[in-house]
A and B are shown apart, each in its own frame.
Chain A
Amino acid sequence: MKIGVLALQGDFDAHRRRLEELGAEVVLVRKPEQFDEIDGLVIPGGESSTFLKLLGDETFRKLSAFAHTKPTFGTCAGAIMLAKEVENPHQQGLNAIDITIRRNAYGRQIDSIIVEAATALGGDPLEMVFIRAPRIEKVGEGVEVLAQRGDDPVLVRKGTVMAATFHPELSADMRVHAEFLKLVKNGTKY
């Protein structure tokens, strides 16, 4: 099972380490042709506006085609990339999962926070690291909410796409990445 991590910018290395700990073979993806050799893709945290600049037309098309057909997981900036609608400011989304997301909606770095909350993944409460996090403002039909911060969905899934507004790659808990690898292995849950 080969998992690509989009490595244009951001904390792609933290995802690589986590995925390797879970036994996956990891490819750092920077070129359009690399999408052809992977079974699943992680879009890491970082700055989504920077990702969009660095993608270029060809890589954007490849990324979009991949995210619409194969297992893809985005955290923070990655979740912003996957969204249908992006606010504050408005920017292009891949529309791979039916969510509306608002950038920096919880405030600046001084408002970054670590919280624990129950998760539909089962087991103990999940530690969630929020760094200048976006907020999921709206989820479309059929989007499953796997964890919440207060009333806000923070971990969502539909079909082969997962998105988290926090950073499971910065916690010791491996459940979220393990869940994604399950998705890659078994295909869509529905």
Chain B
Amino acid sequence: MSENNGNNTSLRLKTGLAEMLKGGVIMDVMSVEQAEVAEKAGATAVMALERVPAIIRAEGGVSRMANPKLIRQIMATVSIPVMAKCRIGHFAEAQILQELGVDYIDESEVLTPADEEHHVDKHAFKTPFVCGARNLGEALRRIAEGAAMIRTKGEAGTGDVVHAVKHMRQIVKEMRQLTVMSEEELFAAAKNHQAPYELVRIVAKAGKLPVPNFSAGGIATPADASLMMQLGAEAVFVGSGIFMKGGATPLDLSLKVEREEAESRARAIVIATTHYDDAKVLAEVSEQMTGAMKGLAVGAIAEKDLLQTRGW
């Protein structure tokens, strides 16, 4: 038995886990109890964090990596993969998350950036990374840095899907445009996208990203999940949509009625993601779901308060 651990092997293992997450829902959780609800509802993975984006948005302040104790507790509780977020460019937080053994690191614009110019060199890690993107150039820059999964940024913590749609449509459109370009046009495209030519060429040939392409940022209902899957997402992240009421108030899982509300939302979005192209099933699960996050229209948020513009 021989072991092969070259660079290419590392990327195959990293994208390999993303392959396993396809067609599923990754849910933000802030406690062991929420993680249990997520797993029971059929989540493929959980994202462990101290404050979901809706709370970060409402409370402000500096948002950092979650406390390792909370992450460990969640890892010890669920059998599905556990992800956690580090700040953009904060490779020390990433090193800590790798040491904890989390299954994926999200270098996320939802947390306060730690570096105004550089992202983490993700090739230096054995733990795979997911990064957000608003367009193809941003996606390819992250892939060049070693990201093994891309997700749309959308506008986290709003429950408004409009920018997840915008970013997915943008990425899909720009990929499609590459597929019909001539060789010399691809050089110019690489310049315009500010992305490495080799990656531009790979996308032009394949018509898709060389790593899985998921969606995040404002997905709050079964219909939202279906919409993103129909637009080309291969799986969805649901942040504040499952466990939040309005503003900075989460559902209280110690109350039966609020626990059931969280469970019904989680279950409905899981089923909707699998049967995203079956309107009959979508109607059924939408009907069974009780309540939804109140939400915040992205159009009403001042430019300076957007999270999606973080990252370069």
Q: Is the CB of A76 within 8 A of B1?
A: no
Q: Is the CB of B3 within 8 A of A113?
A: yes
Within 8 A of A (CB), among B40-94: 40-45, 75, 79-81
A176 → chain B closest CB, angstroms: 16
User: Number of contacts between A and B (CB, 8 Å)?
Assistant: 122
| Complex CA–CA separation, A8 to B281 (angstroms) | 13
Which of B4, B22, B80, B103 is close to A10, meaning CB atoms less than 8 Å apart?
B22
Q: Is the CB of A50 within 8 A of B43?
A: yes
- Which of A14, A47, A115, A150 has the largest number of chain B CB atoms within 10 A? A47
Instruction: Name the B residues within 8 Å of A11 (CB-CB).
Output: 19-20, 22
Q: Is the CB of B42 within 8 A of A50?
A: yes
Contact of A114 with B4 at beta-carbon distance under 8 Å, contacts A109-B104, A131-B13 already known: yes
Taking the complex as formed, is A135 at the interface, i.e. its CB lies under 8 A from any CB of chain B? no
Map CB proximity to B onto A94-120 as digits: 1 under 8 Å, 0 otherwise. 000000000110011110111111000
Which of A54, A103, A170 is close to B19, meaning CB atoms less than 8 Å apart?
A170
Map CB proximity to A onto B153-183 as digits: 1 under 8 Å, 0 otherwise. 0000000000000000000000000000000
Contact of A53 with B270 at beta-carbon distance under 8 Å, contacts A112-B17, A129-B12, A129-B16 already known: yes
Contact of A8 with B23 at beta-carbon distance under 8 Å, contacts A30-B274, A49-B39 already known: yes
| Complex CA–CA separation, A66 to B78 (angstroms) | 30
Taking the complex as formed, is A35 at the interface, i.e. its CB lies under 8 A from any CB of chain B? no
A186 → chain B closest CB, angstroms: 30
Instruction: Name the A residues within 8 Å of B275 (CB-CB).
Output: 30
| Complex CA–CA separation, A54 to B270 (angstroms) | 8
Residue count of chain A within 8 Å CB distance of chain B:
40
Taking the complex as formed, is A167 at the interface, i.e. its CB lies under 8 A from any CB of chain B? yes
| Complex CA–CA separation, A11 to B16 (angstroms) | 9
Taking the complex as formed, is B192 at the interface, i.e. its CB lies under 8 A from any CB of chain A? no
Taking the complex as formed, is B9 at the interface, i.e. its CB lies under 8 A from any CB of chain A? yes
B97 → chain A closest CB, angstroms: 11
Taking the complex as formed, is A40 at the interface, i.e. its CB lies under 8 A from any CB of chain B? no
Within 8 A of B (CB), among A1-36: 7-14, 30
- Which of A46, A77, A103 has the largest number of chain B CB atoms within 10 A? A46
A: which residues have CB within 8 A of B?
7-14, 30, 45-47, 49-50, 53-54, 76-77, 88-89, 103-104, 107-110, 112-117, 125, 129, 131-132, 149-150, 167, 170
Can you list 22 pairs linking A and B with CB atoms under 8 Å apart? A8-B23, A8-B274, A9-B273, A10-B20, A10-B23, A12-B23, A30-B274, A30-B278, A46-B23, A49-B42, A49-B79, A50-B24, A53-B41, A108-B75, A108-B101, A112-B16, A116-B1, A116-B2, A116-B4, A125-B2, A131-B16, A131-B17
B: which residues have CB within 8 A of A?
1-5, 9, 12-13, 16-17, 19-24, 39-45, 75, 79-81, 98, 101-104, 126-128, 267, 270-271, 273-275, 278
